[in-house]
Amino acid sequence: MKILKGAEVSARIKEQVQKALAGAGREGLPPKLVIVRVGERPDDLSYERGALKKMDAFGLRAQSYAFPQDISDEDFKKEFRAINEDPDVTGILLLRPLPKQIREKDIVEMIDPAKDLDGISMTNVAKVFMGDPSGFAPCTAEAVVEVLKANEIPISGKRVTIVGRSLVVGKPLAMLLMKENATVTVCHTRTADLAGTCRQAEILAAAAGRAKMLNADYVGQDAIVLDVGINVDAEGKLCGDVDFESIQDKASMATPVPGGIGTVTTAVLAKHLVRAAGLEIS
């Protein structure tokens, strides 16, 4: 089984980003990302660290704004509005979910679609579902497509099964893959004969959010497996939605966790930041 490492894809995106920056000349400051976080959730902190490191490596500016877990709805909206309206801020990454006292729907409606790098606004959601390339798709969903293309894996005409139907990954990923002419089946935990449906896939994307949920019984012979999950197993180790060890004699290719899709996700975030600045990515 070939392991599809995210570092190679990230390096390719880095070249595209730096080429776009070089083409823009040296006038002014590089595009700026602001990461907005409420509280101290370990997964948010991990993503934030990775994103800040990636932006720096790509030659982009980044800053995080951390707010206390108990910040009021009114105070958070005031702070978020100031960030959203700051002309120096090119793009925003809002780490979710937000605490219960904050009306997340209001924040989603508030965010400027042109700065909404992770595609949470209704404008960007609609554009992704309409196949409009001017919108921003969720970075993780787009990272899956980037991995396939970077490894020259054909998408057109392929049978693809996605396990997971969230607006963060499952649904937008289905739209992106259908735009590439894949035949897509979207499954979830209530799908009848989930394992049998997954075995029919030539490309299987796991985004259910359950540690090691998919084992060899879910994978057809020589299938390509893309593991989007980020979980912690019983031993406290980072793992995906796929039982990686069990599929090695079934899958032809697979992404690892860590070191797979997650690595590419932050690179896609950088790519979106450059696009938000009006620079062309080739």
**What is the average pLDDT across 40-57?**
93
Distance (Å, whole) CA 38 – CA 94: 9
Structural contact between residues 265 and 138, judged by C-beta atoms closer than 8 angstroms: no
Is 26-117's fold the same as 139-262's? yes
Q: Considering only CA atoms, which of 3, 4, 1, 2 is closest in space to residue 145?
A: 4
**What is the average pLDDT across 114-137?**
97
Tokens encoding 132:
């409009």
User: In this predicted structure, what is the pLDDT of residue 117?
Assistant: 98
**What is the average pLDDT across 210-219?**
96
Q: Is 236 left (phi over 0), alpha (psi -120 to 50) or beta?
A: left
Tokens encoding 95:
């780490």
The architecture (CATH level 2) of 26-117 comes to 3-Layer(aba) Sandwich (3.40)
**Residues 64-96: tens digit of each pLDDT:** 999 999 999 999 999 999 999 999 999 999 999
Q: Is 154 exposed, middle or buried (0-12, 13-18, 19+ CB in 10 A)?
A: middle
Structural contact between residues 65 and 10, judged by C-beta atoms closer than 8 angstroms: no
Banded pLDDT at 43 (limits 50, 70, 90): confident
More confident residue, 117 or 22: 117
Q: Is the pLDDT of residue 25 over 80?
A: no
Distance (Å, whole) CA 259 – CA 108: 30
User: In this predicted structure, what is the pLDDT of residue 26?
Assistant: 58
**What is the average pLDDT across 106-110?**
98
Banded pLDDT at 106 (limits 50, 70, 90): very high
Q: Considering only CA atoms, which of 189, 169, 34, 168 is closest in space to residue 96?
A: 168
User: In this predicted structure, what is the pLDDT of residue 28?
Assistant: 78
**Residues 181-196: tens digit of each pLDDT:** 999 999 998 999 999 9
Biggest alpha carbon–alpha carbon distance for the chain: 58
Banded pLDDT at 233 (limits 50, 70, 90): confident
The CATH class of the 139-262 domain is alpha beta
CA 46 to chain centre: 14
**What is the average pLDDT across 136-165?**
98
User: In this predicted structure, what is the pLDDT of residue 24?
Assistant: 75
User: In this predicted structure, what is the pLDDT of residue 164?
Assistant: 97
Q: What is the mean pLDDT of the chain?
A: 96
Q: Considering only CA atoms, which of 63, 39, 41 is closest in space to residue 51?
A: 63
Domain residue limits, the chain: 26-117, 139-262
**What is the average pLDDT across 12-41?**
91
User: In this predicted structure, what is the pLDDT of residue 272?
Assistant: 98
Q: Is the pLDDT of residue 261 over 80?
A: yes
Residue 23 has what DSSP assignment?
Answer: H
Q: Is the pLDDT of residue 27 over 80?
A: no
Question: Which H helix or E strand runs over 42?
Answer: helix 42-58
CA-based end-to-end distance of the chain: 31
